[in-house]
Amino acid sequence: MDTVIQADLIELKAKLFRGLADASRLRVLEALWAEPLTVSAIVAATQLSQSNVSNHLSCLHDCGLVARQQQGRFVYYRLSDPRVGELIGLAASLLADVAHGVYACTRYPSEANQ
């Protein structure tokens, strides 16, 4: 693979992971992992404010990670691709094995410690 193309792909992957690095967006994605939900159901599941959920859903939709579908007067949100859920599941599986190291890592502070 051409090194310029490979570098562009690495930058794009980094951008994807930066988008997933927000705890609120991850909460929204985890809520949608099981089933499509309305904004109010996501608010209840995540304990985030309605405006916060709406902003994150807009971001996730613009990035292609979440899809929406109108059903009557409600809009249901879902993961746009099963691989988004797989990625979240893989992260949980990996974290089960490396949680101690991630917890102890001082180079990437958690949002609570910033």
CATH number at residue 73: 1.10.10.10
pLDDT at 114: 53
What is the widest separation between alpha-carbon atoms in the chain? Answer: 49
Q: Is residue 12 part of a domain?
A: no
69: enclosing H helix or E strand: strand 66-71
Q: Is residue 84 part of a domain?
A: yes
Q: Is residue 39 part of a domain?
A: yes
**SS3 at position 26:** helix
What would the two tokens of residue 38 be? Answer: 């309305």
pLDDT at 81: 96
Q: Is residue 3 part of a domain?
A: no
pLDDT at 111: 66
pLDDT at 99: 85
Counting the structural domains of the chain, the total is 1
Q: Is residue 85 part of a domain?
A: yes
Residue whose entry in the numeric block shows the structure tokens 């309305």: 38
Q: Is residue 99 part of a domain?
A: yes
Q: Is residue 82 part of a domain?
A: yes
Range of the domain at 66: 23-106
pLDDT at 102: 82
Positions of the chain with pLDDT lower than 50, given as ranges = none
Rounded to an integer, what distance in angstroms lies between the CA atom of residue 83 and that of residue 104? 29
Cβ-proximal residues to 24 (8 Å cutoff; 6+ apart), any chain? 46, 48, 52, 56
Strands 66-71 and 74-79: antiparallel
Q: Is residue 66 part of a domain?
A: yes
